[in-house]
Amino acid sequence: MERVRQLVGEMLLLCFLAVLLSGGVLAFFYTPSGEVVAYDGAYEPLRGTPMSAAYASILKIGFDVRGGLFMRQLHHGLSVMLVMGTVVWALLGRFRYAVAVLGLGALGMLAGYGAVDDLLSGTALAKVPVPWWYGLHLLAAVAVGVLLVISSRREAARNPRSLRFVMLSVGLTVLAFFCL
């Protein structure tokens, strides 16, 4: 059971690295601003519609950037997989970090939705400026990464990894993502 928990922890770490990479790519095209602008992207029905610069940049990522929508879907799917994997990790007995990773992961996902400025519009949470949501999203991501790295290093100190173990964790992470 100890080795299964370590495998799930390694899968979480790999999943987090993929979330980090996809988020880094998306950050190049994202504008964290609540300023109201007129949409001028490729999606014709919304052209000229006033919206926040953050939401306009998300639409441009989806419609104008080559592979942008795929990258957004990848980032979202991996984030959901990270939260679900943390639940499995907690059920396998690693409660010490699981509550913190789950809490920070949920906070990061909520902050990610706030940074997009679409789902939280019209709610009490919409009063928080978009750059604050984006900063909170990045801060939660860094905190989750630190917790996962600390936990992974402690697990590896108890049970050293082999090349087969690492390859198994990579394979299972890819398989889990495609089954999600």
pLDDT in tens, 5-28: 788 888 888 888 888 899 889 889
Residue 102 covered by a domain: yes
CA 48, CA 40: separation in Å to the nearest integer?
6
pLDDT of the residue at 120: 57
Dihedral angle computed from the Cα positions of residues 97, 139, 115 and 26, in that order, rounded to the nearest 10 degrees: -100
The secondary structure of residue 24, as a DSSP letter, is H
pLDDT of the residue at 135: 81
Total domains, the chain: 1
Least confidently predicted of 49-58, 67-76, 113-122, 169-178: 113-122
In 10 A of CB 2, how many CB atoms? 12
Count of alpha carbons within 13 Å of 56, Cβ hemisphere only? Answer: 19
Q: What residues does 52 pair with on adjacent strands?
A: 36
Q: Are 18 and 80 in contact (CB under 8 A)?
A: no
Residue 45 covered by a domain: no
Residue 112, pLDDT above cutoff 80: no
Residue 103 covered by a domain: yes
Mean confidence (pLDDT) of the chain: 81
Residue 122, pLDDT above cutoff 60: no
Residue 34 covered by a domain: no
pLDDT of the residue at 119: 59
What is the span of the domain harbouring residue 76?
Answer: 2-29+68-179
Q: Are 16 and 82 in contact (CB under 8 A)?
A: yes
